[in-house]
Structure 1
Amino acid sequence: MADYKKQCLVSVRGSKEWHGLAAASLQELLEKACKFMNLDFQKERVTLVLAEDGTIVEDEDYFMCLPPKTKFMVLTGNKKWSAPTAVDGGTAWMARESVDLQDVMELDGLETPKWKALAAQLKENLSNIIIMSEAELQTLIEVPVEDLSREVSESHDKVRVLQDTLQRVLDRREEERQSKQLLQLYLQAITRDEGSGMSSIAAVNTDEVDAGQQSRTPLLAVSIIKTLKEKKLPHLSLSNSELEAVTNEDSNTLAVALNWKTQKAVELQNSCLQELQNRSQQAQCLNSLATLSKKTKYQP
């Protein structure tokens, strides 16, 4: 099997542009970055650091432990890393900028099926299950056991357990969707019983989008808009990058794109933000358990 190549994003200090590169090792990433940026690491000092906190990356084992799409900053000579203007609490890898993994591969001249890219994410960090969309989870479930086993370097039995886990995640999201739908119906019934007073107040708070906003163009992808329109609880169906795109969209523009009232669009954005926070907490718990498990395993 061909060596696994990690998808990375690199930039030089002071630049706002990020370039997608894939490398099987830290040395290969350094060489590709220098070639792409016309740098000669044999004639001048070139250092790779994490763009997030400035950590110098010079160990191959550490490089392999980093998740896909990690951002690296290239420093030349005696240049130093400078802190970003915003702090993300250490969870930036959970909500990367909307750079599609397939796009990163195409930038580096690779042609890889999407399921292989998803498998690579799981191989790097199993907690990436949490940030995947329902469509991505379903894609991995449908991959033949033999193929997925070869891609993640695990036995067939372990891969079957993995796919069962993916199915349970899908089932959990569906159960959560149904539970919330029942709760919404219950609240609607209570509202009707209390009379028209609350309904009139709600109508005041959910005025139609101002006609002046009609000319604004939504920035969301067509696939996201379709999911938001068709799903009862769409925030459970979206990936982290898609959730982030929805929360970052202007509320009025989102309302126009969906043909909703502004208040309903705001409520959707709040649900997406809450789902992002929930997944971040779940991932942190899984990572903590994995770290604890490794420490226990290697204790004398």
Structure 2
Amino acid sequence: MTELKPCRVCNSSRQRCYGLAVSSLDELKIKGAEALGINPGASISLLLEEDGTIVEDQAYFRCLPANTKFMLLQENDIWMHSQQTMVHSNRESAGLEVDRKDCVDGVESWHGLAEELRKNLASIILMSEADLQVWFTLVVLQKQNKCKINFSDLASALDFSEQKTQVLQDTLQRTLDSREEERQARELLSLYLKAQEKERTQELQEESKGAEPDETDGGEVQGAAGLSSTIIMTLREGRYPQTRLSTKELQVVVNGGVDPLMQQLRCNRDRALALLQACERELSKRLEKVRALQALYTHNQTSSTAGSYSENKVCKT
């Protein structure tokens, strides 16, 4: 008998969630659609609720941990981050509903932000991510022709030309992207520092046990030469697989070179080389962020120390 996997499934709004035990992706779609009241004959997509990754491969499904949360989307649904969904839910409860037909029932949901920007464009810097997400969602729905609000309405509220309104929309999107990159960089630096601390702890333990340096070096070479099943599966999935690998996994791929990729992914040299170069670029980008943040941290520490020294000197004088 096929082993059952406990899963959770929700709809696009995350307001309904059910626990199911299934043995396959197809069974999850059927049972999930039935639980959520979705027509089983409709076109349904299955995604990871956390990050929107599309799940179509049965082997990948089997590798996921128990109680993984999935999202079922119908043809016209779009995946949104959980924080984005919370923003919409809060506005719906206040009577400022954002839906597919009208986009904004109560213009106050974006009109207040437009008024704020009209008075002072510099307020972009002070906007919360929730406010920026309102504009982002508005743009998405406009592009999908699911919104009655158009650029002329926005331009009128802002007292801008349509061209200037478009520039403002782009600026708001870049601001939101920049904040997301900063958040990811902070998380990456935190993981990097934890990894460094773990390595130092392991080195101290090995020294206390009298570990041989040659054995350690051999272990590293062996680890770099092989690709784990998780790495292989990730590299086979969709577009930009390098963005879903951890920094440590990227280092394993880069250190291994082209041949292990060709052998374990069973692909030609051009495909393996393209993946390797993509991983190298992603790793370089992440390490550059870490170095930049470390430099900033060192600079702040130096400035703080210098300031304290000056204050002490003044006090003594």
Give the TM-score normalised by structure 2.
Answer: 0.26
- Between Structure 1 and Structure 2, the one with more helix by share is 2
Structure showing greater radius of gyration is: 2
Give the TM-score normalised by structure 1.
Answer: 0.27
